[in-house]
Structure 1
Amino acid sequence: MIREEPAFKIKNGNFPLFVLHVHTTDMDKLKSELETRLTQTPDFFTNTPVVLALAAIADSGVTPDLADLVTFMRTHGMWAAGVLGGSAEQRQAAMQAGLGLFPDAPSRRAQPQPEVPQAETQLAKTQPETPLPPPTKQPELPGLDATAIEDEPRKEATGSGRETPQPAAPQPTTMIVDKPVRTGQRIYARGGNLVVLAIVNAGAEVIADGDIHIYAPFRGRAIAGAQGNENARIFVHKLEAELISIAGCFQVFENGVPENVRGKPAQIRLDGTRLIFEPLPE
């Protein structure tokens, strides 16, 4: 008997999205500034899904007219897919406007400290207090954060006296592209870094959840930290970009990139919500 295929399947998806961080409840001001930005790149956001981040206005006590904002965005080719953050009233207004609700990132809660038996407490007080040595710091290398090395977690002893090994943390993957990225082509390094060894032409787009390294002329669009990694960086051998974006903060170059890095090796990083362009040694 031939098994009939189901009419649909539901699977998890992981897609890079632009995030529009709303910093004001004045929708007229927001639409005016947004229209100015969109007229600079009339075709870039065509049919592009966008998430509205409302965290900055969550405590304002104001519920903006999101339905009107959604209509305005669609006239400029931007399709609001949902909202992130916001107050209960704002999220309710978003649902009434036909928007989805993206879950907030789970906050880290302090773990309760285990109770120490009285005997162990008294024993601990008899031990001399020796300050721990400062954590070792990794050298700062391109594309790597200089982070402190934490002490190894304690290993639980088994009944045989052997230590139970701790599972290794998953390492980010790296996608390597050694062919030119053509106009209209899009490459996405999901969950890791992207290394491009050939030219990225104008109109091409390279995306990574981590860092982006381009060891050739770069004339297209680069989107690093696509899933919100604000520590992501972009390293370019020859910067002639159309657009640079890190963790949803982007900059369009209608009149070319900044003079101090134009056509030169450079790195781009995020400072708050501002993109910083720094030249690299040639």
Structure 2
Amino acid sequence: MEASPVLDIKSTSLYAIRVVLHTSDLQAVLSALEQRMEEAAGFFEDEPVVIDASRLTAPLDWRALVEALKRHSLPTIGIMAPPELADSAREAGLALLSLPAAPARSPSAAPEPAAEIPAAQEPEAPPAAKPAPPEPAPPAADVPVETVAEQAPAAPRSVPTLVVDKPLRSGQRVYARHADLIVLGVVSHGAEVIADGNIHVYGPLRGKAMAGARGDTNARIYTTQFQAELVAVAGVYRTLTTALSPDIQDKPALIRLEGEKLLVEPLPI
């Protein structure tokens, strides 16, 4: 009888957010982080973090930054840094990461099955940053905190579509890899829908919706009843903690990017 293995090493994918640094001034960074986390109202709590220092030319106190992220319940999994900052990052115990170029979505690729998972389990999620020699990071939206999303050439219009034909409860997450996503029903508070392409919700959108997860800035989010907690396109996010104008709140809405600004507009139907 064969003995059971003590452990297995398997590949996985991980959804993370990226903290993009624009200055080596630690106090300025900590102040901006405090403000952003207050605005986010706990939406990113317990999400893994990649520190993006690719725009910096001088190091800062990496340990102090990691501790500040930890206080906001944001565990750090590694750092993207130019070669001149690599040694200081390693000395602080940070793993050097890079974000590989995202493959273009192929019209012939089949969408992966929906991942409908309770909050307590490991969710299916967009691709993780993988250990690799440092390389220049792709362009990112000019905000200190962003969802990890690699920039890629505009995807073709004809792409696979993943259809979820039942409501999503709080704690459930669905990710449409290399595909658009259609949800026929409610996305409840605390539920998440993520897609590399567009997201269509034919029902109330009350949770989080993140389109263009691999950096497709042309991706859009459509819903017949807008009540979202958070929306994002290609890593640019917006939290909704107050009611919007009457022509958008609880009405059909379209969410899209215009430059680096995320717009929420009435959807003519």
- Structure 1-normalised TM-score? 0.68
Q: Compute the RMSD of aligned alpha carbons.
A: 2.6
Match of 2:70 in 1: 74
Q: How much identity, in percent, do the aligned residues show?
A: 38
- Structure 2-normalised TM-score? 0.71
Matches of 2:242 and 2:96, distance apart in 1: 37
Matches of 1:204 and 1:193, distance apart in 2: 18
Matches of 1:30 and 1:246, distance apart in 2: 24
- Aligned residue runs from structure 1 range 230-249, under 5 A: 230-249=217-236
The residue type paired with residue 93 of structure 2 is: G
Matches of 1:264 and 1:100, distance apart in 2: 45
Q: Of residues 179, 183, 190 in structure 2, which corresponds to 1:203?
A: 190
The residue type paired with residue 92 of structure 2 is: A
| Structure 2 gaps, min length 5 | 103-153
Matches of 1:91 and 1:146, distance apart in 2: 33
Matches of 1:99 and 1:247, distance apart in 2: 26
Cα gap change, 1:88 to 1:75, in 2 (>3 Å): same
1:176-196: CA deviations, max 9, x gaps? Answer: 111111122222223322111
Shift of 1:68: 0.9
Shift of 1:98: 2.5
- Aligned residue runs from structure 1 range 99-138, under 5 A: 99-105=94-100
Cα gap change, 1:32 to 1:216, in 2 (>3 Å): same
Cα gap change, 1:13 to 1:258, in 2 (>3 Å): farther
The residue type paired with residue 89 of structure 1 is: E
Equivalent pair of 1:239/1:262 in contact (CA under 8 Å): yes
Cα gap change, 1:253 to 1:239, in 2 (>3 Å): same
The 3-state SS of whatever aligns with 2:250 is coil
Shift of 1:213: 1.0
Shift of 1:71: 0.4
Matches of 2:15 and 2:245, distance apart in 1: 26
- Greater RCO structure (CA 8 Å; 6+ sep): 2
Cα gap change, 1:274 to 1:96, in 2 (>3 Å): farther
- Correspondence 1:33 to 2:32: yes
Matches of 2:14 and 2:180, distance apart in 1: 15
User: Runs of 4+ in structure 1 displaced over 6 angstroms?
Assistant: 145-148
Cα gap change, 1:43 to 1:104, in 2 (>3 Å): closer
Match of 1:21 in 2: 20
1:145-198: CA deviations, max 9, x gaps? Answer: 7969xxxxxxxxxxxxxxxxxxxxxx8542211111112222222332211110
Shift of 1:76: 0.8
